[in-house]
Amino acid sequence: MPVRHLLGLADMPAAAINEFLENALPMKQIISRDIKKVPTLRGKTVVTLFYEPSTRTRMSFELAAKYLSADTVNVSASASSMAKGESLADTARTVAALGADLVVLRHPSAGAPHLLARMVDVPVVNAGDGMHEHPTQALLDLFTLRERRPDLEGLKLVIIGDLLHSRVARSNIWCLPRFGVDVHLVAPPTLVPAGLAALGVTVHDRPEDALPGAGAVMVLRLQRERQQEGLIPDVREYARLYALNGERMALARPDAYVMHPGPMNRGIEIAPDVADGACALITDQVTNGVAVRMAVLYLLMLGRGD
């Protein structure tokens, strides 16, 4: 059954995930050409609705749409409607009335894309909802790993950082174990959400306990606000105990990949030499992000059977 929306990966069948990734392969070829444009989505309009600033994700979606010749309209709702007290429901009706063919939504509230999907007739893509999911990020992470290691069975992947607030971590936790990845999580106990261990992942207090044997390490961005919220005593202490530096990387396998969803706080959650090291896939992630999003736009707008 074709997927109508991309709201999250928790409930998405592996077959649907594979379909997105398979379609990302030819898309990646398109963006490596000199002329990065195909007429596939000509005449279609993609609305990107961002209630939260994120230049990277928005640019990635916009480029993906443009490479496929779709028109894009960007609405930064924080500046306009939200400030005027317009509800998401009202905005949804406006977007539908304007004739959008697909809506990309970034929103600070978990579940906002689900609400939108119930109210509009067109496909909705979740570009990050609160602490809930960031499905295209997890898809591009999976795509990037599989480029290097087509068979992920038995790969030990360590995710280090603020698990409590991370939608990137959540989407990856739903997705990666289904492809045989052995997922290990590391965070200060104050940044670990309840009940994680029930999900078939291993949770550690300290990076040193998790890193031995790791074939890939994914580092999450630390928001400095966590210190004000009293969740960590001090950012420097966090860096001392949790930053992925050369010494800690030495505990992992010598060929272990390093990933980061960006933007990075160099020197806080990741040491510059690790971020720029030979095994870092961080720029691949950015490129693959466009290819994966092209596949998502294509499949949701044209690849649908209904």
Partner 1 sequence: MELLIRNGTVVDPAAGRTFESDVLIKDGRVAAVEKKITARGARVLDAAGKLVTPGLIDMHVHLREPGQEHKETVASGTCAAVHGGFTAVAAMPNTDPVADRPEVIRYVLEKAREAGRARVYPVGALTVGSRGKELTEMGALREAGAAAFSDDGRPVADAHVMRRALEYARMLGVPVISHCEDLSLAAGVMHEGLVSTMLGLKGTPAAAEDVAVARDLILAEMTGGRLHVAHVSTAGAVRLIREAKARGVRVTAEATPHHFTLTDRAVAGFDTNAKVNPPLRADADVAAVREGLADGTIDVIATDHAPHAAHEKEVEFDLAPFGLVGLETAVGLVFTELVAGGVLDVVTAVAKLSINPARVLGLSRTIAPGAVADLTVIDPDAAWTVNRAELVSKSKNTPFHGFKLKGLPCATIVGGEVHLAARG
Separation between Cα atoms, residue 182 and residue 180, nearest integer Å = 6
CB of 197 to partner 1, least distance (A): 9
Which spans of this chain sit near partner 1 (rule: CB under 8 A)?
10, 87-89, 107, 109-112, 114-115, 129-133, 167, 170, 193-196, 198-199
CA 14 to each of CA 137, 142, 176, 214, 305: distance values in angstroms, whole numbers, following the listed order? 16, 12, 10, 24, 18
Compute the radius of gyration of the chain from its Cα atoms. 19
CB of 87 to partner 1, least distance (A): 6
CB of 298 to partner 1, least distance (A): 27
Is the CB of 100 or the CB of 116 nearer to partner 1?
A: 116
Separation between Cα atoms, residue 260 and residue 196, nearest integer Å = 21
DSSP string, 161-211: S-TTT-HHHHHHHHHGGGGT-EEEEE--GGG--TTGGGGS-EEESSHHHH-
37: its two tokens: 């444009």
39: its two tokens: 């007429």
List residues bridging with 217 in a β-sheet.
158, 258
* Residue the block writes with tokens 């970034």: 106
Backbone dihedral angles phi then psi of residue 190, each to the nearest 5 degrees? -75, -10
